[in-house]
């Protein structure tokens, strides 16, 4: 039987928010069966809890923001991606401010933290959302589509008018049956362009951004002295973001997802559309003797090092 997972013990880190620039303490704690991922604003009276669910998303400008009980937490997508990649079903995430720290701009540090804490199985079956009918959301020339698939696969297609993208093409497909999230996706960093910085900061965004937590490009090249971690790091980060945004379904997904020029906004609209179309999906659990898609046989061994 595939069982639910949580952390063995709590783990803590500090960092600045990418958009707010505010220093935040982050504490990830074990949570009981069927809790899901729940963010807790420890700096606010009553420590309001915000379940990480698609219906709680209230802002998707350059990040994914959730809100409940008058409290909000932003830039949750990289941490949510790490939870999904490690197969963590239940966790409490205490944050001392309005945004999850960006750390190095990828999911890698979160993976390392949770692997350091250790993961444990819980006495309840893991519940999956299995796509049984296509669901598509279109916004102008942007498309997000779910399709039935016996596993978990994401395709991202984008068009970037910049020399740095010419060598890597405009699309990538990651099938987690034969691709390691930890090794091939988690370390891909967020990226941005110097010409957009002034505009973003005038909107109160990217106030904490730097070469330490993002790939930064001018009109011609990547400015980071250490270069890229993957040749197609930009596209892999879009996959990383999609993994995190789709985990706001509240459960792991069995199916295929295509994002054509999609971002956080369309990813969220697609997740809401899938949940609303109840005939398009069904609940699935795997018990003894069941045939399990290879993408889910072992998301990450409990004792395996992160990198």
Contact 163, 220 (CB under 8 A): yes
SS3 25: strand
Give the residue among 307, 271, 297 at the shortest CA–CA distance from 136: 271
Cα–Cα distance for residue pair 39/26, rounded to 1 Å: 10
The dihedral formed by the CA atoms of 128, 111, 197 and 200, expressed in degrees to the nearest 10? 40
**Which is the catalytic residue, given 78, 237, 260, 264?**
264
108-117 vs 77-86: helix crossing angle, rounded to 10: 50
Catalytic residue status for 264: yes
Query: Please, which residues have CB within 8 angstroms of residue 277's CB and are 6 or more apart in sequence?
Result: 133, 135
268: DSSP letter: H
DSSP output for 78-125: HHHHHHHHHT---EEEEESSSB-B-TTSSSHHHHHHHHHH-EEEEEEE
Cα–Cα distance for residue pair 246/272, rounded to 1 Å: 10
Which neighbouring-strand residues pair with 41? Answer: 95
Which neighbouring-strand residues pair with 119? Answer: 7
Tell me the catalytic residues.
Answer: 264
């Amino acid at each position: 039987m595939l069982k639910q997972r949580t952390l063995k013990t709590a783990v803590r880190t500090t960092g600045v928010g990418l958009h707010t620039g505010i220093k935040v303490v982050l504490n990830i704690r074990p949570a009981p069966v069927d809790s899901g991922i729940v963010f807790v604003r420890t700096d606010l009276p009553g420590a309001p809890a915000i379940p990480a669910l698609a219906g709680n998303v209230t802002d998707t400008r350059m990040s994914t923001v959730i809100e409940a009980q008058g409290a909000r937490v932003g830039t949750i997508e990289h941490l949510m991606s790490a939870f999904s990649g490690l197969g963590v079903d239940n966790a409490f995430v205490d944050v001392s401010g309005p945004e999850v720290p960006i750390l190095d701009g990828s999911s890698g540090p979160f993976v390392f933290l949770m692997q350091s804490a250790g993961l444990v199985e819980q006495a309840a079956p893991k519940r999956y959302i299995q796509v049984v009918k296509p669901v598509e959301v279109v916004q102008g020339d942007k498309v997000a589509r779910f399709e039935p698939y016996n596993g978990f696969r994401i395709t991202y297609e984008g068009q970037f008018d910049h020399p740095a993208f010419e060598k890597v093409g405009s699309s990538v497909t990651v099938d987690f049956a034969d691709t390691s999230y930890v090794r091939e996706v988690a370390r891909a960093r967020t990226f941005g362009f110097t010409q957009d910085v002034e505009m973003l900061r005038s909107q109160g965004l990217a106030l904490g951004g730097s070469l330490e937590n993002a790939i930064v490009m001018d009109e011609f090249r990547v400015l980071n002295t250490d270069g890229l971690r993957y040749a197609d790091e930009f596209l892999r980060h879009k996959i990383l973001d999609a993994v995190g945004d789709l985990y706001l379904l509240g459960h792991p997904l069995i199916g295929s997802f295509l994002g054509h020029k999609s971002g956080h906004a369309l990813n969220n609209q697609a997740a809401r559309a899938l949940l609303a179309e109840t005939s398009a999906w069904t609940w699935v659990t795997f018990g003894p003797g069941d045939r399990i898609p290879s993408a889910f046989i072992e998301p990450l061994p409990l004792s395996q090092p992160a990198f």
